[in-house]
């Protein structure tokens, strides 16, 4: 999955790498998605071809209808069964793409067949359309919506609800036009305008009655919705009491979708600490060229996950800056590995220390593939076969005990259960040297004994985590690590302000 095409890769608890939309579902409904809750055309075809090879179709000609469309329906049901121990009441199924795309056609057809099979009252079709505003005409255009609904009806589905995306609220007149041409009742033509926060959207939809329309279509009798938690959240977001600036040092600087969950996690932590969190994207290659001046006046520094050598030296400089200037530092995955490299080089005096990902011939492979550690000194003798890049990843959540008396313990308590997506690990052969100089391992995986979290006890807040904590943060709950990080940043900001005042006095 390329971040250029898909934005962030979201990782489920059971280790599936999925599109970032699944992350939104987890955050909104606070439910854990599984591998089977996301599937692609490739998986459907693979499954059908395997069945055909096993003779399950008894030699019949394999066709899109019924074989592919049946398989899609089975996958949908399997996904629904996977959640809530099989006691799922409603499955929300999102079909990606655009109506009329060749790729999505079998999926739409499968949905049509499924609604026929399940019968009336068991299915509600919600169609998302675009209502563009054309500035030169000063008008919202309803034509694309009309045509998209026509296309959908042509392939057999009459939507129950239209969610009309626009940059502004759609006036009744335009909604009435859409209703008339698309055969959807006016009250079910719902205007979904650009909100300044995604967390205002539940209430936007509720006020227009979407929840009741869907419940009615599915024959669900329910109490009125209670959205007070969402309203409180939106209020806290709009009325912060403090403000901090975090420098996020990465290379996809202008693609904030690449760090979607991370941005969300920082926002959630801000909500729960009444802090407006402003993220400054710092291009690590700019640090390589121009030094760390851009990091002055930031209240905290963060190095997120990443792959590949480009920009790593700039990130290492940023980490050194955070360590030496006692600026709160959070290193996620690659951010922990680079913090280890920085410490090895600049504190332990291990010149040329690196990860074998960036320098296969480094004299000090402080970060390496597990299969590369061969002796106690950390020397690498045998190279593993790295050709199968997709298959060697450590993926998904793992329960790991936390060392008492550490920052990690104060944040997480006795156990951490967070999701992984990486190939390289901190090389245990170097840990004694790192620890002797004050860079401590605060959690280790139980079986392989791999460093899971590392920290500097002598620093106000300096922690690296081998996992991705951002995937488990929810707006209503926040996340302990991000909350602690924001609190440390606040303390840093306040200390700086006091120091500035004293200077003036």
The stretch near ligand GLN (CB under 6 A) out of 59-67, 259-267, 273-281, 299-307 is 299-307
Q: Which of residues 420-439 bind ligand GLN (CB under 6 A)?
A: 421-424
Q: Based on the shown chain and the rule CB under 6 A, indicate whether residue 452 belongs to the binding site for ligand GLN.
A: no
Task: Catalytic residue, from 333, 372, 455, 492: name it.
Answer: 333
Q: Based on the shown chain and the rule CB under 6 A, indicate whether residue 306 belongs to the binding site for ligand GLN.
A: yes
Query: Please, what is the angle between helix 260-272 and helix 228-238, to 10°?
Result: 90
Q: Which is nearer to ligand GLN, 35 or 423 (CB)?
A: 423
Q: Which is nearer to ligand GLN, 217 or 334 (CB)?
A: 334
Q: Which is nearer to ligand GLN, 267 or 427 (CB)?
A: 427
The stretch near ligand GLN (CB under 6 A) out of 175-183, 253-261, 301-309, 310-318 is 301-309
* DSSP category for residue 402: B
470 tagged catalytic: yes
Closest listed residue to residue 250, CA positions, set 286, 277, 214: 286
Query: Least Å distance between CB 334 and ligand GLN?
Result: 3
| Contact (Cβ atoms closer than 8 angstroms) between residue 486 and residue 244 | yes
| Contact (Cβ atoms closer than 8 angstroms) between residue 191 and residue 168 | no
Q: Which is nearer to ligand GLN, 142 or 427 (CB)?
A: 427
Task: Catalytic residue, from 67, 268, 272, 468: name it.
Answer: 468
Q: Which is nearer to ligand GLN, 44 or 319 (CB)?
A: 319
Neighbour order of strands in the sheet with 161-166 = 126-130, 161-166, 189-193
The whole-angstrom separation of Cα 298 and Cα 328 is: 10
Q: Based on the shown chain and the rule CB under 6 A, indicate whether residue 251 belongs to the binding site for ligand GLN.
A: no
Q: Which is nearer to ligand GLN, 125 or 307 (CB)?
A: 307
Query: Please, what is the angle between helix 143-154 and helix 172-182, to 10°?
Result: 20
* DSSP category for residue 310: T
| Contact (Cβ atoms closer than 8 angstroms) between residue 22 and residue 33 | yes
Q: Which of residues 324-353 bind ligand GLN (CB under 6 A)?
A: 333-334
Q: Looking at the DSSP assignment, which residues form a beta bridge with residue 354?
A: 365
Query: Least Å distance between CB 264 and ligand GLN?
Result: 17
Q: Based on the shown chain and the rule CB under 6 A, indicate whether residue 193 belongs to the binding site for ligand GLN.
A: no
Q: Based on the shown chain and the rule CB under 6 A, indicate whether residue 307 belongs to the binding site for ligand GLN.
A: yes
Strand 451-455 and strand 440-444: pairing?
antiparallel
Q: Which is nearer to ligand GLN, 311 or 480 (CB)?
A: 311
268 tagged catalytic: no
478 three-class SS: strand
The whole-angstrom separation of Cα 451 and Cα 442 is: 8
Q: Based on the shown chain and the rule CB under 6 A, indicate whether residue 357 belongs to the binding site for ligand GLN.
A: yes
The stretch near ligand GLN (CB under 6 A) out of 142-150, 156-164, 417-425, 448-456 is 417-425
The whole-angstrom separation of Cα 269 and Cα 272 is: 5
* DSSP category for residue 128: E
Task: Catalytic residue, from 71, 109, 425, 470: name it.
Answer: 470
353-377 core/surface letters (b: 16 or more CB in 10 A; e: else): bbbbbbbeebebbbbbbeebbeeee
| Contact (Cβ atoms closer than 8 angstroms) between residue 355 and residue 341 | yes
* Phi then psi dihedrals of residue 308, to 5 deg: 90, 160
Q: Give contact residues for ligand GLN (rule: CB under 6 A).
A: 305-307, 333-334, 357, 421-424
Positions marked active-site: 333, 468, 470
């Amino acid at each position: 999955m390329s971040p250029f095409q898909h934005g962030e890769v979201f990782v489920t608890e059971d280790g599936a790498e999925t599109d970032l939309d699944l992350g939104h579902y987890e955050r909104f409904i606070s439910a854990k998605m599984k591998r089977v809750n996301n599937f692609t055309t490739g998986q459907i075809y693979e499954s059908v071809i395997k069945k055909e090879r096993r003779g399950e179709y008894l030699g019949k000609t394999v066709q899109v209808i019924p074989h592919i469309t049946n398989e899609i329906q089975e996958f949908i049901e399997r996904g629904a069964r996977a959640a809530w121990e099989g006691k799922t009441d409603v499955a929300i199924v999102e079909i990606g793409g655009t109506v009329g795309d060749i790729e999505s056609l079998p999926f739409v057809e499968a949905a049509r067949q499924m609604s026929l099979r399940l019968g009336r009252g068991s299915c509600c079709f919600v169609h998302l359309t675009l209502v563009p505003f054309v500035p030169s005409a000063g008008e919202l255009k309803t034509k694309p919506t009309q045509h998209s609904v026509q296309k959908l009806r042509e392939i057999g589905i009459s939507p129950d609800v239209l969610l009309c995306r626009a940059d502004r609220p759609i006036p009744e007149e335009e909604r009435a036009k859409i209703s008339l041409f698309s055969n959807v009742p006016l009250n079910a033509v719902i205007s979904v305008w650009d909100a300044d926060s995604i967390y205002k959207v539940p209430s936007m939809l509720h006020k227009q009655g979407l929840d009741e329309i869907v419940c009615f279509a599915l024959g669900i009798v329910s109490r009125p919705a209670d959205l007070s938690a969402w309203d409180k959240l939106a209020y806290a977001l709009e009325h912060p009491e403090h403000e901090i600036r975090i420098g996020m040092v990465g290379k996809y600087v202008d693609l904030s979708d690449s760090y979607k969950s991370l941005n969300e996690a920082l926002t959630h932590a801000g909500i729960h600490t009444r802090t407006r969190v402003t993220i400054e994207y710092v291009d690590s290659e700019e640090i390589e060229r121009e030094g760390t001046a851009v990091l002055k006046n930031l209240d905290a520094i963060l190095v997120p996950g990443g792959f590949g050598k480009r920009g790593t030296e700039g990130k290492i400089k940023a980490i050194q800056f955070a360590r030496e200037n006692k600026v709160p530092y959070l290193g996620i995955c690659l951010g922990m590995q680079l913090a280890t490299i920085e410490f090895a080089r600049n504190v332990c005096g291990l010149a040329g220390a690196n990860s074998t990902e960036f320098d296969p011939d480094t004299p000090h492979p402080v970060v390496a593939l597990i299969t590369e550690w061969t002796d106690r000194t950390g020397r690498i003798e045998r190279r593993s076969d790295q050709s199968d890049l997709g298959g060697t990843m450590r993926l998904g959540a793992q329960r790991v005990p936390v060392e008492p008396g550490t920052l990690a313990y104060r944040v997480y308590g006795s156990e951490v259960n967070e999701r992984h997506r990486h190939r390289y690990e901190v090389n245990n052969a170097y840990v004694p040297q790192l620890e002797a100089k004050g860079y401590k391992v605060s959690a280790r995986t139980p079986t392989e004994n791999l460093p899971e979290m590392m920290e500097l006890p002598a620093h106000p807040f300096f922690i690296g985590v081998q996992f991705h904590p951002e995937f488990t943060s929810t707006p209503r709950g926040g996340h302990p690590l991000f909350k602690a990080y924001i609190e440390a940043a606040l303390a840093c900001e306040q200390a700086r302000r006091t120091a500035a005042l004293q200077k003036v006095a």
